[in-house]
Structure 1
Amino acid sequence: MRVPRLLAFSAASAAVLAGTLVPAGAASAAGQRYVALGDSYSAGVGAGSYDSSSGSCSRSTRAYPQLWANANAPASFSFVACSGATTDSVTSGQLGALNSTTTLASITVGGNDAGFSSVMQTCVLNSDSACLTAVNNAKTYAQNTLPGKLDALYSAMRAKAPSARFVVLGYPHLYYMNGGICIGLSTTKRTALNSAADTLDSTIASAASRASFTFSDVRPIFNTHELCSGDNWLNSVTIPIGNSYHPTALGQSSGYLPGFKNGVGAAARAANG
């Protein structure tokens, strides 16, 4: 009688041990129904390896949403982020991916509303004065007009997916300012562009808080990996031009993916009290 009891004990012990070897959160991740919304920073523009079926949206297999889905095997995954997206185009063209069964969603949006591409073009091609004017106009928009647009979008997202946890990711500083040689834009321009990122992130973080969404700040993660750092995770001016000032593949895997994971963890802790 001892042998069967020993075998039974061993089998039970093995089952318990096997359970302890499952990575923390794996079970919950496997049950997630994840939707990735947003603009080019979520689509993965600049990271290469684009899905041809995504067309001009330029969704990359190296973008953080795809990387997270590959690693966690959620129950479902809908990747609808699109290059050039604004709050309006997300509202009109992406929210159909959300529904009452969605449990997790991520988004980057707001940079295009504030005219990111136009500001960068002005700063690259024109004087310090012209750059400062463009940056200040973008900051005024981010402070005065963007909040209402984000509030409306986040409200619509919640209405579509009332049970989901929403992770809102911000934008990194573009330039490393603590030493090193930086050919191209002046210190004045680089400082102004980083300041614009701060204003934009502050606006996004506040709107996320109002909506009870989780904001994940990627600036600390990208710190010392901005342009001019010598170990940059961002594209400078490149060909094709649309990749410029977007995260590289390393910026997605080492910058945005950890930022998203941080947000998912924070959202789970908030939900659990």
Structure 2
Amino acid sequence: MTRPDRRRVRTLALALAGLAVVGAAVVAVALNGRGGSGPSYVALGDSYTAGPLIPRQVASSGLCERSTQGWAEQVARAIDASSFTNASCPGASPANVTGAQVLGAETHAPQVDSVHPSTRLVTISLGANDQHVFTGLIEGCASVAATDPQGSPCRDHFVSGGDDTVADKLRQTRAQVVSAVQAVQAKAPDAAVVLVGYPRIVPAQGTCEALPFAAGDYAYVDRWEHGLNAALASAAAGTGTAYVDTYDGSAGHDACAGAAAWITGKDGTATSASYHPNLAGMTGVAKIVDTYLQDHGLAGR
């Protein structure tokens, strides 16, 4: 197994990590060694926020593998945040906003512990790992592709008797996200809370070696991502918070887009985990989020 392969397996294994009770603190930092003029900002999220393997990794983040070039880190610099805390961690689900997360020998405190009454901006990008859907679906679709390369064996596996088990889980995801938002609102009632969706993974048309799915399963995975983002948008509407759509803005940058891809495919690298955003993806998402914050007057609270 090559080094990138070992890292890919490690990253996917982290997505299956369980929950625990005792927590370890996440330290807030002042950007550039000083407080900026922008809001006090806290980012909650999973690996799509943390940026595992993307240089430079924050040594103190341990197995949470946060990058200094993750989209939330870039947004914090763009808005000149007076303070910034990144509580994101690979494998995190909405339940980890209020419940601790165990990764190997490390126990990470509930992400909401990083939010304080003085916090003025909180971004939340969670949901893909709820009930282990992301890993189960992506790995599952890849593992069964050879059984019917031109069909949809993955969809056939998850849809039984007309019941789509993945869609059923997404309904629960919405409720989990609503609970997470409410926990944040309770701790920081004056903060602007912004839910951030996931960027496009599969192309609108065609297939590619980077995504080893059966031809008919590309549409199924895309339908799942639409459902996930719809659940986040609905949770935002139900809690009176904002929602940033990164799916439409990442059109043409899916994992099959070659040099223009924002998402790395199955073959992870030393600087990007498989099926995760690369540096270009983090920068692209950061620009979308920053533009939204600026346009809606949320960057200078």
Q: Could you state the TM-score of these two structures normalised by the residue count of structure 1?
A: 0.81
Corresponding position of 2:250: 222
What residue ranges of structure 2 are gaps of 5+ in the alignment? 1-35, 100-109, 146-151
Which structure shows the higher strand fraction? 2
Corresponding position of 2:144: 126
The count of aligned residue pairs is: 240
Corresponding position of 2:80: 73
* Cα pair 1:132 1:189 within 8 Å, conserved: no
Q: How far apart in 1 are the matches of 2:158 and 2:134?
A: 10
Q: How does 1:46-125 map to 2 (within 5 A)?
A: 47-92=54-99, 93-114=110-131, 115-125=133-143
* Cα pair 2:154 2:217 within 8 Å, conserved: no
* Cα pair 1:43 1:57 within 8 Å, conserved: yes
The offset of 1:97, in angstroms, is 0.9
Identity %: 27
Q: How far apart in 2 are the matches of 1:71 and 1:30?
A: 11
Q: Provide closer, same or farther for how the CA distance between residues 210 and 265 of structure 1 changes in structure 2, counting only shifts above 3 A.
A: farther
Corresponding position of 1:201: 229
Q: Secondary structure, in 3 states, of the residue corresponding to 1:176?
A: coil
Q: How does 1:1-273 map to 2 (within 5 A)?
A: 30-45=37-52, 47-92=54-99, 93-114=110-131, 115-127=133-145, 128-134=152-158, 136-143=164-171, 145-179=172-206, 182-183=208-209, 184-230=212-258, 231-239=260-268, 243-254=273-284, 256-265=285-294, 267-268=296-297
* Cα pair 1:44 1:60 within 8 Å, conserved: yes
Q: Secondary structure, in 3 states, of the residue corresponding to 2:233?
A: helix
* Cα pair 2:255 2:262 within 8 Å, conserved: yes
* Cα pair 2:178 2:239 within 8 Å, conserved: yes
Which structure shows the higher helix fraction? 1
Q: Could you tell me which amino acid in structure 2 is paired with residue 244 of structure 1?
A: S
Q: Larger C-alpha radius of gyration, 1 or 2?
A: 1
Q: Secondary structure, in 3 states, of the residue corresponding to 1:54?
A: helix
Q: Provide closer, same or farther for how the CA distance between residues 202 and 46 of structure 1 changes in structure 2, counting only shifts above 3 A.
A: farther
* Cα pair 1:171 1:219 within 8 Å, conserved: yes
Q: Provide closer, same or farther for how the CA distance between residues 69 and 96 of structure 1 changes in structure 2, counting only shifts above 3 A.
A: same
Q: Secondary structure, in 3 states, of the residue corresponding to 2:84?
A: strand
Q: Secondary structure, in 3 states, of the residue corresponding to 1:268?
A: coil
Q: Secondary structure, in 3 states, of the residue corresponding to 2:208?
A: coil
The offset of 1:240, in angstroms, is 6.5
Q: Could you tell me which amino acid in structure 2 is paired with residue 49 of structure 1?
A: R
Q: Could you tell me which amino acid in structure 2 is paired with residue 250 of structure 1?
A: A
CA RMSD of aligned residues (A): 2.3
* Cα pair 1:119 1:131 within 8 Å, conserved: no
Q: How far apart in 1 are the matches of 2:295 and 2:77?
A: 21
Q: How far apart in 2 are the matches of 1:240 and 1:233?
A: 14
Q: How far apart in 2 are the matches of 1:212 and 1:137?
A: 29
